[in-house]
Amino acid sequence: MNVDIIIAGAGPNGLMLACELSLAGVRPLVLERLPERTEENRANGLVGQVVRMLDRRGLHRRLSGQPEPPRPAPSFVFGALPLDLGALEDNPLYGLHVPQRRIEQVLEERAVELGVEIRRGHELTGLTQDDVGVHADVSGPDGPYRLRARYLVGADGGRSRTRKLAGIDFPGVTRDDTVSRTAHAVVPAALVDPATGGLDVPGHGPVPPFRHHRTERGMFVYAPFPSRPPLVSTTEWPTAGDGAEAFDAPITLDELRLSVRRVLGADLPLAPPDGPGPHMLRRLVGGNTRLADRFRAGRVLLLGDAAHVHSAMGGPGLNLGLQDAVNLGWKLAAEVHGWAPPGLLDTYESERRPAAERVIMQTQAQSALVAPGAEVTALRELFAELLADRDATRRVAELMAGADIRYDNGGTHPLTGRWASDLTLDAGRGPVRLATLTENARPLLLDLTRDASLAGEASGWQDRVDAIPARVPEAASAVHDRAPVTALLLRPDCYVAWASDAPNPDADERKALHAALEQWFGAPTNR
């Protein structure tokens, strides 16, 4: 073997996987066909549970530039309908306004710190596999060559070469009934509302910032990101003679201005931004909703957009793909190290496919809610009434965040299979956040029992699992996610493998803990 794992694709998902593998002591090699990091900004931030997951790896402060932990968003939108999240206890929806270029830069810097080799200008051109490894044919600046690895992961986007070479189908639908136009553009300062940061367009009225603004003729977005030129975007469902520009010609700012006039029914002057770029000016016709028929073919696996593509409405792509990477990384590492229990790697698909299906469901629902037509307007009125209910708002927020996922880990405690939310603990050195204890990406047994006797139960797994006796400071709540807890066994992706609420766990509780340790982290070394 030349390397343990080959990763095809150095976008955010591939780089995140490389970091996770390196933290687990595995050698990944990243191949990227582009000679340098792209200047195209495909996303303007992160939305969902991934914001907290990056905090669990110490990456949030690098991305935000602030030492404070992430804070939930006070509001958001679903299908261009407002979500009032400020009234929710334990608001699950987090956001971080960081352009994708910066996300890739930070992840690449972290990967290099961890010793990852990234080969830019090297493209996967072929692969064959057997029972113990994969041969990868690569085209590089100095010509073709071949590599041998235990596994190969395709993180190479919606047009994945890896997926095609592995013979994995990509069923779904392609639509061509929408046209989206987006540009960095400057609007007259007199039209900017200083109180909200949104626009007051003569002939139309107020337009809130950072929200999908639907009219009967289309959708409009005005996003004044700090330290960057504002983004102006439209989406239309054109008919013959209605905005039917020659789509084979490059888009112009005037084309976007005319689209804004059709959508808002009023003129909005637009000017090109000053200063260095790159400045976005893009047109997209139609879109794809597709899900790979399998995420694994032997020793080849798919990650992120290579496994699923969908509408970008609500910004779910990086939330889904980066969490794919965190789910897959420790399981692949376990296979390489030889302690993976049977079937562990198969849980990557059994856990992440349902997550992808839910993203596809909710993005399709949002697309339906912003379409033109009187019947859609009626549906929106009904949804607006439903979203006035706090429980309905919470359910939609959890869906968009990916916080409603519960893996089938077995066990009876209500936290088992769920993602572990933040805890403040005292592990003998004063208060510490759970996020600080998970930066090394190792499994973690938190013993919060009165006599701290449970930590010793993991002694047979001490090469794989960190056991930490701790207590919940009196100033903090002893209830986690609205459920009492005295012990937590966390997987490296911060999902709960086992939990207990017994003050002094009995023999049956300890037996259940041993079973969970074996289920997820293999046989003990002292067996």
DSSP 16-82: HHHHHHHHTT--EEEEESSSS-------S-EESTHHHHHHTTT-HHHHHS-SSPP-B-SEEEETTEE
| pLDDT of 242 | 52
pLDDT under 70 in the chain at which residues? 41, 239-246, 473-483, 527
Cα separation of 126 and 392, whole Å? 48
Q: Is the dihedral of CA 154, 160, 165, 166 positive or negative?
A: positive
Are 328 and 153 spatial neighbours (Cβ–Cβ below 8 Å)? yes
Q: What pLDDT, on the 0 to 100 scale, is given for residue 477?
A: 44
Amino acid code (one letter) for 393: T
Tell me, what DSSP letter sits at residue 455?
G
Looking from the CA of 449 toward its CB, the CA atoms found within 13 Å total 22
Exposed/middle/buried for residue 468 (C-beta within 10 Å: 0-12, 13-18, 19+): middle
| Token pair 């969490």 in the structure block, residue | 323
Residue 301, φ and ψ in degrees, nearest 5: -125, 155
pLDDT of residue 427: 78
β pairing state of 213-215 and 479-480 = unpaired
pLDDT value, residue 473: 60
Return the DSSP state at 501: -
Tell me the C-alpha distance between 165 and 128, whole Å: 9
Cis, bond preceding 278 (omega within 30 deg of 0): yes
Torsion from C-alpha of 303, 304, 306, 310, nearest 10 degrees: 150
Pairing between β-strand 479-480 and β-strand 483-484 as defined by DSSP bridges:
antiparallel
Amino acid identity of residue 24, one-letter, is A
- pLDDT computed for residue 37 by the predictor: 86
Task: Write the CA distances from 5 to 26, 95, 134, integer angstroms.
Answer: 8, 31, 9
Q: What is the pLDDT of residue 475?
A: 40
Query: Tell me, what's the pLDDT at 482?
Result: 55
Q: In what order do the strands lie in the sheet with 487-490?
A: 466-469, 444-447, 487-490, 496-500
